[in-house]
Structure 1
Amino acid sequence: MNIVFLLCISFYLFSVGVCYTHINLKLGVQTSTQTVPCNDLMYYQVNVTDPCKDLMINVNVLEGEPNVYVSRGNTKFPNERSLAWSSYNWGSENLTISSWDPEFSIGTFYIGVHAYCGSDVASGYTDAKFTLQALSVDSIHPSDEIPLNGMIRGNISAENYLYYRFCVSSNCNNVEVKLENCIDPAKCPTNYAWPELLVSRSIVKPTINDHAWKLASIERRSVYLYNADSEFYPGHYFIGVYGWCTPEEFCNNNSSCGPCNYADNHSFNLSVIVTDVQENACVPKGPLQLCEVKYNTTNGSVNNAKGNFIWLLTLTYLLTKLF
């Protein structure tokens, strides 16, 4: 077999991550017309700095049929076989990655545009031509948002949940999530209650059985998130208010047991109070990485590339022996 052909096979096997490069995008700036050959891929990258806004990828199709794949972290060359956000709409693409998605974090996002070709698509075997734009847009979420240093009023039903959210753009803050309601039987003898407060960074609708920040006390009415907390990162946080109460059959003294009929339709105020940490006392945290690969030396990525190249040469040699 021709050695050139063998080299082509080898390079094809290692094309993703070896031959492809990334085109840098700026948020809000549309590219010029891009052309991707039939059944090939072109890659882009964009840096996202606001943890409270969604990332929207717009592909305006001029010719052909492009598909979009987006990833972050170690998957720098996403395709149809990798775990990534994707869009397969016919024609133009509009893919939004929610900033409250557990996989979302500030940092570099990688975008692959694949020129899909075949007899099953109207454009047939036409190269994909398009313009591409990455945008940072306001986040949309079904739960009400509490503005920082703002307050929201609500009424909770016995043994039910209400959900809210807030977002902090920096970890150089201390955050107090405060629940205010009448908890004193002496002040409100027939309508006092002890609702539970839950705060989570990853669970959109936390319950009392989930791993979350909680009050877990009648006297304590605030959940605190501190800058020094290793689990405190910029981004969205989700709040649950649970109408905790004691069912009637287990309540012998209404003035001390928190009966459910007192807790039903109970009013409360919920606020998010943010205090800035002094600049010299805070080191901003980098992006939250999931399953990050660490190298032992500062030249780890270079050494890894050298290793791939040596493996490639070895594979080529073995193929010459086989054929």
Structure 2
Amino acid sequence: MYKVAIVIPTCNAGREFANLLAEIARQSLPIDYKLVIDSTSADGTADVAGNHGWQVRIIPQAEFSHGGTRQMAVELLPKDIEIVVFLTQDVRLPDRYSLEKLLGAFVDDREAQVAAAYGRQVPHEGASIYAAVDREFNYPAVSRTKSMADSRELGIKTTFLSDSFAAYRVQDLLKIGGFPKINICEDMYVAGRLLLAGKRIAYVAEAIARHSHEPKLKDMWCRYREMGRFQKENPWIGESFGRAGGEGVRLVKYQAGRVYKEKGIIGIGKILSMDLVRFLAYKAGMYITEI
């Protein structure tokens, strides 16, 4: 079996964080190294992690970036670690076999072509339909392994990967230069580099984590503006994999049908207004230098 590490970047993770650490401790998969990189939390997050037996590295909040902090973690791992699992502080793992199922993508890969794997995210219990609908669309019930050949069908969606619940083969990650020091889409960036290097990305639908956020328009605007800026600064992704194509249209159709069943025509209006904010923010990030 592989030598496995888990890394969680944290900042004021809150009361639920201890529950996540307890769920990780109950996982069927043996974990060889557990690391929290904490951005100087004020709520005792680092102490909670230490009390649960995790290694803790504290950094100033100003030094955090989604890519750079994860790369720091990779460089801190013991040299014998073969697989690193990244989680975010707000996921939950109620199924004690989730990590074992996720790493099955590597265990069953005799030719070592799978460089990264990500699991299925389902909404937190009690999540609204507006928080759930995108998760349902992006994380279907059927597993799939993606390669460059799939870009003809999936376009840029070929690079879809989420560091909220993902695992990487460390040697493959290091060969493509690791994570860049960027604040968004570090998982898409790495997935693209791995695919261009001839590797595969596995989506493991049987490996489940709970993760969702209730949508807020201001947060949407900021996030999608940054996503647009990321695409502008990394044109190689669109050039290599193509655009989203009909995927965005399929998402909107799915959203409308799903929300209408639960919320009626008012719900459709609400979800479409969210989509409009996302679209405008994304375009703003791509075409406006300073906002």
TM > 0.5 between the two?
no
More helix by proportion, 1 or 2?
2
Structure 2 length normalisation: TM-score?
0.22
The structure that has the greater radius of gyration is 1
More strand by proportion, 1 or 2?
1
Structure 1 length normalisation: TM-score?
0.21
